[in-house]
Structure 1
Amino acid sequence: MLDDTSDPFMLARAAQRRAIRRRRRAARKNPFAGAPGADETPYLSPTQRQGRRAEDRARRHLEAAGAQVLQHNLRCQAGEIDLVCLDGGVLVFVEVRHRHSPRFGGAAASVDHAKQQRLARAAAWFLPQLARRYFAGRTPPCRFDVIAIDGAELAWLRGVFQAPP
Protein backbone atom coordinates (compact mmCIF):
# COMPACT_ATOMS: atom_id res chain seq x y z
CA MET A 1 0.00 0.00 0.00
CA LEU A 2 1.22 3.48 -0.85
CA ASP A 3 1.99 6.09 1.76
CA ASP A 4 -0.49 9.04 1.82
CA THR A 5 2.37 11.48 1.26
CA SER A 6 3.37 9.89 -2.05
CA ASP A 7 -0.10 9.79 -3.67
CA PRO A 8 -0.70 13.05 -5.63
CA PHE A 9 -4.46 12.66 -5.35
CA MET A 10 -4.30 12.40 -1.56
CA LEU A 11 -1.96 15.39 -1.36
CA ALA A 12 -4.31 17.48 -3.50
CA ARG A 13 -7.33 16.40 -1.47
CA ALA A 14 -5.60 17.30 1.81
CA ALA A 15 -4.71 20.72 0.40
CA GLN A 16 -8.34 21.25 -0.61
CA ARG A 17 -9.53 20.36 2.89
CA ARG A 18 -7.06 22.80 4.46
CA ALA A 19 -8.18 25.57 2.09
CA ILE A 20 -11.84 24.91 2.86
CA ARG A 21 -11.16 25.03 6.61
CA ARG A 22 -9.25 28.33 6.20
CA ARG A 23 -12.12 29.88 4.22
CA ARG A 24 -14.69 28.72 6.76
CA ARG A 25 -12.65 30.12 9.66
CA ALA A 26 -12.23 33.44 7.85
CA ALA A 27 -15.94 33.56 7.02
CA ARG A 28 -16.84 33.07 10.69
CA LYS A 29 -14.63 36.01 11.64
CA ASN A 30 -15.89 38.29 8.86
CA PRO A 31 -18.70 36.90 6.68
CA PHE A 32 -18.08 39.51 3.97
CA ALA A 33 -14.28 39.25 3.76
CA GLY A 34 -12.96 38.86 0.26
CA ALA A 35 -16.32 39.45 -1.37
CA PRO A 36 -16.59 42.01 -4.15
CA GLY A 37 -17.74 45.29 -2.66
CA ALA A 38 -17.29 43.83 0.83
CA ASP A 39 -17.48 47.22 2.48
CA GLU A 40 -20.83 48.01 0.84
CA THR A 41 -23.03 44.90 0.58
CA PRO A 42 -22.79 41.22 1.38
CA TYR A 43 -21.67 38.78 -1.29
CA LEU A 44 -24.21 38.26 -4.04
CA SER A 45 -24.41 35.28 -6.36
CA PRO A 46 -24.24 35.91 -10.12
CA THR A 47 -28.03 35.53 -10.34
CA GLN A 48 -28.53 38.01 -7.49
CA ARG A 49 -26.16 40.50 -9.15
CA GLN A 50 -28.13 40.15 -12.38
CA GLY A 51 -31.37 40.77 -10.47
CA ARG A 52 -29.85 43.81 -8.77
CA ARG A 53 -28.82 45.21 -12.18
CA ALA A 54 -32.37 44.66 -13.49
CA GLU A 55 -33.83 46.46 -10.45
CA ASP A 56 -31.38 49.36 -10.91
CA ARG A 57 -32.38 49.61 -14.57
CA ALA A 58 -36.07 49.57 -13.59
CA ARG A 59 -35.45 52.25 -10.98
CA ARG A 60 -33.75 54.52 -13.53
CA HIS A 61 -36.63 53.96 -15.96
CA LEU A 62 -39.23 54.86 -13.33
CA GLU A 63 -37.37 58.00 -12.31
CA ALA A 64 -36.93 59.06 -15.95
CA ALA A 65 -40.70 58.62 -16.43
CA GLY A 66 -41.40 60.96 -13.51
CA ALA A 67 -42.11 58.49 -10.72
CA GLN A 68 -40.48 59.07 -7.34
CA VAL A 69 -38.91 55.90 -5.95
CA LEU A 70 -39.55 55.79 -2.19
CA GLN A 71 -38.21 52.38 -1.13
CA HIS A 72 -36.61 49.29 -2.63
CA ASN A 73 -36.22 45.65 -1.62
CA LEU A 74 -38.72 45.67 1.23
CA ARG A 75 -38.69 42.21 2.79
CA CYS A 76 -41.03 40.67 5.31
CA GLN A 77 -42.27 37.20 6.17
CA ALA A 78 -45.06 37.55 3.59
CA GLY A 79 -42.70 38.29 0.68
CA GLU A 80 -40.66 41.00 -0.98
CA ILE A 81 -41.51 44.21 -2.78
CA ASP A 82 -38.83 45.18 -5.30
CA LEU A 83 -39.68 48.89 -5.63
CA VAL A 84 -42.21 51.23 -4.06
CA CYS A 85 -42.75 54.51 -5.85
CA LEU A 86 -45.10 57.45 -6.05
CA ASP A 87 -46.65 58.01 -9.48
CA GLY A 88 -48.82 61.10 -9.32
CA GLY A 89 -50.71 60.61 -6.07
CA VAL A 90 -50.73 56.81 -6.33
CA LEU A 91 -48.53 54.53 -4.26
CA VAL A 92 -47.16 51.92 -6.65
CA PHE A 93 -45.77 48.52 -5.67
CA VAL A 94 -43.48 47.40 -8.47
CA GLU A 95 -42.34 43.86 -9.19
CA VAL A 96 -39.28 43.68 -11.47
CA ARG A 97 -38.97 40.53 -13.58
CA HIS A 98 -36.08 39.75 -15.90
CA ARG A 99 -35.81 36.95 -18.44
CA HIS A 100 -33.18 36.36 -21.11
CA SER A 101 -35.66 34.91 -23.55
CA PRO A 102 -39.43 34.64 -23.91
CA ARG A 103 -39.09 30.86 -24.31
CA PHE A 104 -41.23 30.09 -21.25
CA GLY A 105 -43.65 32.99 -21.56
CA GLY A 106 -41.35 35.90 -20.81
CA ALA A 107 -40.93 38.12 -17.79
CA ALA A 108 -44.50 39.40 -17.53
CA ALA A 109 -45.97 35.90 -17.65
CA SER A 110 -43.83 34.88 -14.69
CA VAL A 111 -45.97 36.98 -12.35
CA ASP A 112 -48.51 34.23 -11.80
CA HIS A 113 -51.42 34.10 -9.35
CA ALA A 114 -49.26 32.79 -6.47
CA LYS A 115 -46.73 35.60 -6.98
CA GLN A 116 -49.54 38.15 -7.08
CA GLN A 117 -50.87 36.86 -3.76
CA ARG A 118 -47.41 37.10 -2.16
CA LEU A 119 -47.01 40.65 -3.46
CA ALA A 120 -50.44 41.62 -2.13
CA ARG A 121 -49.67 40.15 1.32
CA ALA A 122 -46.31 41.93 1.47
CA ALA A 123 -47.91 45.20 0.34
CA ALA A 124 -50.61 44.87 3.02
CA TRP A 125 -47.85 44.35 5.57
CA PHE A 126 -45.92 47.49 4.54
CA LEU A 127 -48.87 49.75 3.68
CA PRO A 128 -49.48 51.09 7.23
CA GLN A 129 -45.80 51.98 7.63
CA LEU A 130 -45.63 53.63 4.21
CA ALA A 131 -48.86 55.55 4.86
CA ARG A 132 -47.49 56.91 8.14
CA ARG A 133 -44.15 57.83 6.65
CA TYR A 134 -45.19 59.38 3.32
CA PHE A 135 -48.92 60.18 3.59
CA ALA A 136 -49.40 61.48 7.16
CA GLY A 137 -51.22 58.28 8.13
CA ARG A 138 -53.81 58.39 5.34
CA THR A 139 -54.03 55.29 3.17
CA PRO A 140 -53.29 56.38 -0.41
CA PRO A 141 -54.67 54.82 -3.58
CA CYS A 142 -52.44 51.87 -4.50
CA ARG A 143 -51.52 50.04 -7.66
CA PHE A 144 -49.48 46.97 -8.57
CA ASP A 145 -47.16 47.34 -11.56
CA VAL A 146 -44.68 45.03 -13.24
CA ILE A 147 -41.53 46.05 -15.02
CA ALA A 148 -40.82 43.21 -17.42
CA ILE A 149 -37.35 43.03 -18.91
CA ASP A 150 -37.07 40.53 -21.75
CA GLY A 151 -33.50 40.58 -23.00
CA ALA A 152 -32.80 44.25 -23.72
CA GLU A 153 -36.47 45.26 -23.98
CA LEU A 154 -38.11 46.89 -20.94
CA ALA A 155 -41.88 47.30 -20.53
CA TRP A 156 -43.64 49.09 -17.65
CA LEU A 157 -47.01 47.39 -17.19
CA ARG A 158 -49.28 49.53 -15.02
CA GLY A 159 -52.13 48.18 -12.91
CA VAL A 160 -51.38 44.55 -13.68
CA PHE A 161 -53.61 43.17 -10.90
CA GLN A 162 -55.79 44.25 -8.01
CA ALA A 163 -55.21 43.26 -4.40
CA PRO A 164 -58.01 41.22 -2.89
CA PRO A 165 -60.24 43.30 -0.57
Structure 2
Amino acid sequence: MNKRQAGAFWEEAVTAYLMRSGVNILERNYRCSRGEIDIIGFHRGCLVFFEVKYRNDDRFGTALEAVGSAKQEKICRCADWYLWKHPAEGDVQIRFDVVAVCRKEIQWIQNAFEYRRAGTWNSRRRR
Protein backbone atom coordinates (compact mmCIF):
# COMPACT_ATOMS: atom_id res chain seq x y z
CA MET A 1 0.00 0.00 0.00
CA ASN A 2 1.50 3.35 -1.03
CA LYS A 3 1.25 6.57 0.99
CA ARG A 4 -1.85 7.84 -0.84
CA GLN A 5 -3.65 4.51 -0.47
CA ALA A 6 -2.78 4.35 3.24
CA GLY A 7 -4.10 7.88 3.72
CA ALA A 8 -7.36 7.04 1.94
CA PHE A 9 -7.72 3.82 3.96
CA TRP A 10 -7.26 5.63 7.28
CA GLU A 11 -9.56 8.51 6.32
CA GLU A 12 -12.23 5.89 5.62
CA ALA A 13 -11.56 4.18 8.97
CA VAL A 14 -11.62 7.53 10.81
CA THR A 15 -14.91 8.48 9.12
CA ALA A 16 -16.49 5.22 10.33
CA TYR A 17 -15.04 5.79 13.82
CA LEU A 18 -16.45 9.33 13.97
CA MET A 19 -19.88 8.17 12.78
CA ARG A 20 -19.93 5.48 15.50
CA SER A 21 -19.01 8.24 17.97
CA GLY A 22 -22.05 10.31 17.03
CA VAL A 23 -20.62 12.66 14.39
CA ASN A 24 -22.94 13.53 11.51
CA ILE A 25 -20.58 13.72 8.51
CA LEU A 26 -21.41 16.64 6.21
CA GLU A 27 -18.41 16.70 3.85
CA ARG A 28 -15.27 14.72 3.11
CA ASN A 29 -12.18 16.09 1.38
CA TYR A 30 -13.69 19.56 1.09
CA ARG A 31 -11.53 21.62 -1.27
CA CYS A 32 -11.50 25.29 -2.05
CA SER A 33 -8.94 27.76 -3.34
CA ARG A 34 -7.64 28.18 0.21
CA GLY A 35 -6.92 24.54 0.96
CA GLU A 36 -8.60 21.32 2.01
CA ILE A 37 -10.41 20.03 5.06
CA ASP A 38 -10.42 16.26 5.46
CA ILE A 39 -13.81 15.93 7.17
CA ILE A 40 -16.54 18.37 8.16
CA GLY A 41 -19.16 17.16 10.58
CA PHE A 42 -21.65 18.09 13.24
CA HIS A 43 -21.08 16.82 16.79
CA ARG A 44 -23.00 17.77 19.94
CA GLY A 45 -24.11 21.16 18.67
CA CYS A 46 -20.77 22.07 17.09
CA LEU A 47 -19.75 22.34 13.47
CA VAL A 48 -16.42 20.52 13.48
CA PHE A 49 -13.56 20.75 11.00
CA PHE A 50 -11.44 17.60 11.23
CA GLU A 51 -7.85 17.15 10.14
CA VAL A 52 -6.81 13.50 9.82
CA LYS A 53 -3.13 12.67 10.17
CA TYR A 54 -1.62 9.22 9.75
CA ARG A 55 1.86 8.08 10.72
CA ASN A 56 3.43 4.61 10.56
CA ASP A 57 5.71 5.60 13.41
CA ASP A 58 6.82 8.77 15.15
CA ARG A 59 10.44 8.95 13.96
CA PHE A 60 9.64 12.25 12.25
CA GLY A 61 7.20 13.47 14.89
CA THR A 62 3.74 12.37 15.88
CA ALA A 63 0.69 12.74 13.69
CA LEU A 64 -0.55 15.50 15.99
CA GLU A 65 2.73 17.41 15.71
CA ALA A 66 2.29 17.39 11.93
CA VAL A 67 -0.59 19.87 12.29
CA GLY A 68 1.56 22.94 12.87
CA SER A 69 0.62 26.59 12.67
CA ALA A 70 0.85 26.78 8.86
CA LYS A 71 -1.53 23.81 8.49
CA GLN A 72 -3.85 25.30 11.11
CA GLU A 73 -3.93 28.55 9.17
CA LYS A 74 -4.87 26.74 5.95
CA ILE A 75 -7.62 24.83 7.74
CA CYS A 76 -9.03 28.04 9.25
CA ARG A 77 -8.94 29.88 5.92
CA CYS A 78 -10.73 26.95 4.27
CA ALA A 79 -13.26 26.91 7.14
CA ASP A 80 -13.87 30.63 6.52
CA TRP A 81 -14.66 29.82 2.89
CA TYR A 82 -16.92 26.91 3.85
CA LEU A 83 -18.86 29.09 6.29
CA TRP A 84 -19.21 31.83 3.70
CA LYS A 85 -20.58 29.33 1.15
CA HIS A 86 -22.73 27.49 3.73
CA PRO A 87 -24.01 30.05 6.25
CA ALA A 88 -25.01 28.47 9.55
CA GLU A 89 -28.51 29.05 10.84
CA GLY A 90 -28.60 30.41 14.38
CA ASP A 91 -25.71 30.40 16.82
CA VAL A 92 -23.50 27.44 15.91
CA GLN A 93 -20.24 26.79 17.71
CA ILE A 94 -17.18 25.97 15.61
CA ARG A 95 -14.50 23.50 16.63
CA PHE A 96 -11.21 22.35 15.11
CA ASP A 97 -10.32 18.74 15.89
CA VAL A 98 -7.43 16.52 14.89
CA VAL A 99 -7.74 12.78 14.49
CA ALA A 100 -4.28 11.26 14.73
CA VAL A 101 -3.61 7.70 13.63
CA CYS A 102 -0.37 6.04 14.64
CA ARG A 103 0.33 2.32 14.57
CA LYS A 104 -3.35 1.56 13.88
CA GLU A 105 -4.48 3.49 16.97
CA ILE A 106 -6.99 6.30 16.47
CA GLN A 107 -6.73 9.30 18.80
CA TRP A 108 -9.40 12.01 18.52
CA ILE A 109 -8.24 15.35 19.91
CA GLN A 110 -11.21 17.68 20.32
CA ASN A 111 -10.48 21.41 20.30
CA ALA A 112 -6.96 20.67 19.07
CA PHE A 113 -6.49 24.31 18.14
CA GLU A 114 -8.45 27.53 18.21
CA TYR A 115 -9.57 29.66 15.31
CA ARG A 116 -7.35 32.64 14.76
CA ARG A 117 -7.37 35.37 12.21
CA ALA A 118 -4.46 35.31 9.79
CA GLY A 119 -1.16 35.90 11.57
CA THR A 120 -2.38 35.23 15.14
CA TRP A 121 -1.94 31.49 15.61
CA ASN A 122 -1.88 29.74 18.96
CA SER A 123 -2.15 25.99 19.27
CA ARG A 124 -3.68 24.65 22.47
CA ARG A 125 -1.21 21.80 22.61
CA ARG A 126 1.72 24.20 22.89
CA ARG A 127 0.48 25.93 26.03
Determine if the alignment matches structure 1 residue 117 to structure 2 residue 73.
yes
1:61 aligns with 2:17: yes
Structure holding more strand per residue: 2
Q: Number of residues paired by the alignment?
A: 117
Structure label with greater radius of gyration: 1
**Match in the other structure for 1:140:** 92
User: Cα RMSD over matched residues?
Assistant: 1.5
TM normalised by structure 2 equals: 0.86
Instruction: Tell me the equivalent position of 2:103.
Output: 151
Q: Is the 8 A contact 1:145 1:157 kept in 2?
A: yes
Query: How far did 1:129 drift?
Result: 2.5
Paired with 1:111 and 1:119, the residues of 2 have a C-alpha distance of: 10
The 2-side partners of 1:105 and 1:141 are apart by 31
Matches of residues 1-165 of structure 1 in structure 2 within 5 Å?
Answer: 46-131=2-87, 135-136=88-89, 138=90, 140-165=92-117
What code does the residue aligned with 1:115 have? K
> In structure 1, the residue corresponding to 2:59 is in which secondary structure?
helix
CA distance in 1, matches of 2:55, 2:36: 19
Pick 1 or 2: higher relative contact order, CA cutoff 8 A, min separation 6.
Answer: 2
Structure 2 alignment gaps of length 5 or more = 118-127
Which protein has the bigger helix share? 1
Change (3 A) 1:139 1:81: farther
In 1, the alpha carbon distance for the partners of 2:91 and 2:35 equals: 21
Shift of 1:50: 1.4
- CA distance 1:74–1:139, shift in 2 (3 Å): farther
Aligned partner of residue 102 in structure 1, secondary structure: coil
Q: Which deviations, in whole Å up to 9, do the C-alpha atoms of 1:59-95 show, x marking residues without a partner?
A: 0110111111111100111110000010011000000
Cα distance in 1 for residues equivalent to 2:19 and 2:69: 28
